Amino acid sequence: MLVVMKFGGTAVESGERIRHISNLVLNYQQKMGFDVILVTSAVRGMTDDILAVAESVRRGDTTSVNWFIDRLKRVHLSLIDSSIFDEAKNKEARTSVIQLVELIENVVHGMLPMREVTPKMLDYLLSFGERLSTFIVSVAIRDIGGNSEFLVGNDAGIVTDSNFGEALPLMDTTKLKVFHKLKPMLAKKIIPVITGFIGADQFGNITTIGRGGSDYSATIIAAGTRADEVWLWSDVDGLMTADPKIVSDARVIREASFAEALEMALFGAKYMHPRALEPAIESNIPMRIRNFMKIDDEGTLVVNNPSKDSHKIVKAISSIRHTALIDVSGVGMVGAPGTAGRIFDALAKNKVNIMMISQSPSESSISMVVKKEVLQKATRTLELSLLGRVIKKIDIKEDVAVIAVVGSGMRGIKGVAARVFGAVGNKNINVIMITQGSSELNLAFVVNDIDCAEVVRTIHGEFKLNKS
């Protein structure tokens, strides 16, 4: 049984946790006889800090840059001291980490006079978060008697395009390279310990594959090595019926389909790279989302075809708070082919991502939901490029929440919408916009943000999701 195990940033944020996960992995390999491949994230917060340091470079703020380098060194050296106890190994790890920190220091100081960080340089900088944490984990495993080998994502075989920051893995090449690199190591009972988030383009430049990308690295590697399962260990218990911060009796979902998981993960407590599921779906590799602090809990199993008894009408209620709604209207839009295309094209060219869309059948208005951070950019774009021509009016609502009711069991079941909106209506809460994909997997609607928590609790109660 080959399992690719990915550990998130919270699993490596203290030496104690690094020891804990090292023991956990070794236990699976030595006692349970698994073949294990590890994929690790940067220490929690580190990627954000590196992004901030790039901003400091752009401002020419040498003090902040130096402060960061100092912190980077302190944090990782203290992780080593609290997770690697053998004197020689501790020294070896310290030496390597100091070298890596010096490398990043030189690179950043080289950028400071120019005050420039290109996307390519930024990816190179970002890679240090994962390189440092993952390297430490690899030595910590050896420290407790395991046989591990540290690999940067590209050395493990991940090849991407050159779209720095959001690079796309070239899957065929990658799968081949990953297979030939890792299989012989597994045959020798070595545990490959691989940085998440990182690949390299065909010219060897370091790339990153998007925020939260370590999950994606894990599924790519699982596909490449034809793993039996991929486990995403983090500090959440699994996919939940609702956000436990909102619904106190929310439960862990035992089993979900990939399609359901995708809907939930984008909204839920376990943020996941949207592409992370793709390789697992394509290669039909079951995925488990588990809590590394509760190793006896099985978490959520995500598979292509969940067992019959996991089919519920509604499985989860997710919400995205603090979003914004834009409504564009105008009689000129009626019966004019290409209107929607022009609206979305203008927004896309300005990198505004749209989360939800609905058009009235009269075609005289289109509503869209976007993240609040891009609201200004979105309205400016629409005003500059289309207002007064195709569209006559732009209305915005600044603080709304998107509620998604998810479950593949809704398909073909009558009355689900009536139950959802009936329950919400009984609470006297206004629904602003509604969409349902024709797959009937997800019924989504928009309410004022202040109503969000009550709506989620109401629907959770209506479908009795607190009971298994």
Interface positions with ligand ASP (CB under 6 A): 9, 41-42, 47, 129, 196-197, 211-214
Find the residue with minimal CB distance to ligand ASP: 214
Q: Which does 283 bind (CB under 5 to 8 A by kind): ligand ASP, Mg ion, none?
A: none
Q: Which is nearer to ligand ASP, 47 or 148 (CB)?
A: 47
Provide CB contacts within 8 A for 286, sequence distance 6+: 228, 229, 230, 280, 301, 302, 303
Q: Shortest approach of ligand ASP to residue 322 CB, angstroms? A: 20
Provide CB contacts within 8 A for 384, sequence distance 6+: none
Look-up: residue for tokens 């779209």? 163
Distance from C-alpha of 103 to C-alpha of 120, rounded to nearest angstrom: 16
Q: Which is nearer to ligand ASP, 211 or 392 (CB)?
A: 211
Q: Which is nearer to ligand ASP, 213 or 306 (CB)?
A: 213
Q: Work out the angle between the directed axes of helices 119-143 and 46-59 (0-180°, nearest 10).
A: 140
Q: Residue 366: in which H helix or E strand, if any? A: strand 365-371
Joined together, the tokens standing for residue 81 give: 């001291």
Q: Which is nearer to Mg ion, 233 or 258 (CB)?
A: 233
Q: Shortest approach of ligand ASP to residue 46 CB, angstroms? A: 7
Distance from C-alpha of 461 to C-alpha of 249, rounded to nearest angstrom: 10
Residues of the chain by 3-state class (helix, strand, coil), percent to 5: 45, 20, 30
Look-up: residue for tokens 């075989």? 157
Q: Which does 279 bind (CB under 5 to 8 A by kind): ligand ASP, Mg ion, none?
A: none
Instruction: Assess contact for 444 and 434: CB atoms under 8 A.
Output: yes
Q: Which is nearer to Mg ion, 8 or 199 (CB)?
A: 8
Q: Shortest approach of ligand ASP to residue 385 CB, angstroms? A: 32
| List of residues contacting Mg ion (CB under 5 A) | 8, 41, 212
Q: Shortest approach of ligand ASP to residue 55 CB, angstroms? A: 16
Distance from C-alpha of 458 to C-alpha of 405, rounded to nearest angstrom: 12
Q: Shortest approach of Mg ion to residue 222 CB, angstroms? A: 17
Per DSSP (E only), the strands in 137-294 are 148-151, 159-160, 191-195, 198-201, 206-208, 229-234, 255-257, 287-291
Q: Shortest approach of ligand ASP to residue 242 CB, angstroms? A: 24
Q: Which is nearer to ligand ASP, 41 or 241 (CB)?
A: 41
Q: Shortest approach of ligand ASP to residue 6 CB, angstroms? A: 8
Q: Which is nearer to ligand ASP, 239 or 424 (CB)?
A: 239
Q: Which does 153 bind (CB under 5 to 8 A by kind): Mg ion, ligand ASP, none?
A: none
Distance from C-alpha of 49 to C-alpha of 8, rounded to nearest angstrom: 16
Q: Which is nearer to Mg ion, 20 or 377 (CB)?
A: 20
Q: Is 266 exposed, middle or buried (0-12, 13-18, 19+ CB in 10 A)?
A: middle
Count the alpha carbons within 13 Å of 28 in the hemisphere toward its beta carbon: 20
C-alpha distances out from residue 48 to 53, 143, 175, 228, 386, Å: 9, 30, 29, 33, 36
Q: Which is nearer to ligand ASP, 85 or 271 (CB)?
A: 271
Q: Is 21 exposed, middle or buried (0-12, 13-18, 19+ CB in 10 A)?
A: buried
What is the 8-class DSSP label of residue 240? Answer: B
Q: Shortest approach of Mg ion to residue 240 CB, angstroms? A: 17
Q: Which is nearer to ligand ASP, 175 or 270 (CB)?
A: 270
Instruction: Assess contact for 21 and 248: CB atoms under 8 A.
Output: no
